[in-house]
Structure 1
Amino acid sequence: MTRISFHNLNIDQVSNSSGIYSGTNVQSRFSAYHQKNEGSGMIIGNKNVLQQNRHLIIKKPNPQGE
């Protein structure tokens, strides 16, 4: 078995797909999925105001059929 030892470990950020494990443990089938859809696009011009907006995101078909 491989043994990894750190003298010092600093963690600046933990995100949704991160994991911190200490001690004797085994990670198996660890996976993460994240999807973020946003709207608004590009707004050009002077003195533009956006109020009570609605956005429609249309997912493009996946060529693998997923």
Structure 2
Amino acid sequence: MKTAILCLCTLLTVCASFTANAGPDWQIIEKARAQARQHATQVCDASGASTTSAAPLQKERTVQLVH
């Protein structure tokens, strides 16, 4: 009986911790990156920067987000 209870507890523990071991949620990460790019573009547009000067700034911010 103890063995059955131990196996059941082990199975429940493994199932409960699966999401922690599954790895990062790439869909959420990509959504956050897209929102950050959109925010950076809006900030550049709101400050009156031209599109030629906004492009290097946006690329720089993208590089910072990746690291």
Same fold (TM over 0.5): no
Choose between structure 1 and 2 for higher RCO, CA contacts under 8 A separated by at least 6 residues.
2
**Which has the larger helix fraction?**
2
- TM-score for the superposition, normalised by structure 2: 0.23
- TM-score for the superposition, normalised by structure 1: 0.24
